[in-house]
Amino acid sequence: MATFMEEALVEARRARDAGEVPVGCVFVHEDKVIARGANEVNVYRNATRHAEFICIDATLAYCREKSLPARQMFSEIIVVVTVEPCIMCSAALHTLGVKEIIFGCENDRFGGKTVVDVGAVVGQRIKITGGVRADEAMALLKEFYKGDNPAAPTVAKKKKL
């Protein structure tokens, strides 16, 4: 899976270069990448355009194009993403019933495993493995959050506890 995580990291760096939160993702089907995506939140002014959702949409388009049954396709997909999917993405991936999720670093602000046990809420268990090249994924995030999110309005910074 290391090579696939490298492809996800490539996507994350692409997001960084575009001024987006640097998270990247690829969907792997039968050892082949069928969808790749990076965060596109700022460009579309839509806070739900996370890398995973870009890949979900690409997969649905791929299925339409090749006339493949989407439900079955998702059940055979391994999600490789640089940061632990957030609660929203994790809920979507659980509901779509992907085969497996492999992620890099944890997301302690709104991770779909660390903060909320999404599998328990949705009522679907899938295999989730974290910690794959976590340091590199985290370094990208840290680098990004040192600067400010260019799309967010300038609001007083929260005080550190």
String marking each residue 29-68 x if it binds another protein according to CB under 8 A: -----------x--xxxxxxx---x--x---x--------
- Work out how close the CB of 113 gets to another protein at its nearest, in angstroms, rounded to a whole number: 13
Cβ count within 10 A of residue 106: 17
List the Cα angle 155/158/161 in 5-degree steps. Answer: 180
Is 52 one of the annotated active-site residues of the chain? Answer: yes
The one among 58, 70, 134, 138 contacting another protein by CB under 8 A? 70
Of the candidates 11, 20, 40, 52, the residue annotated as catalytic is 52
Can residue 121 be called a binding residue for another protein (CB under 8 A)?
yes
Q: What residues form DSSP beta bridges with 32?
A: 29
β pairing state of 100-105 and 77-83: parallel
Cβ 5 vs Cβ 33: under 8 Å:
no
Cβ-based nearer residue to another protein, 24 or 112: 112
Residue closer to another protein by CB (options 31, 159) is 159
Judging by DSSP bridges, how do beta strands 32-38 and 77-83 pair with one another? unpaired
Pairing mode, strands 32-38 and 24-29: antiparallel
Name the minimum Å distance from CB 61 to another protein: 10
**Which tokens sit at 52?**
């995973």
Binding site for another protein (CB under 8 A): 40, 43-49, 53, 56, 60, 70-71, 86-89, 91-92, 95-96, 108-110, 115-116, 118, 121-123, 151-155
Which positions are catalytic? 52
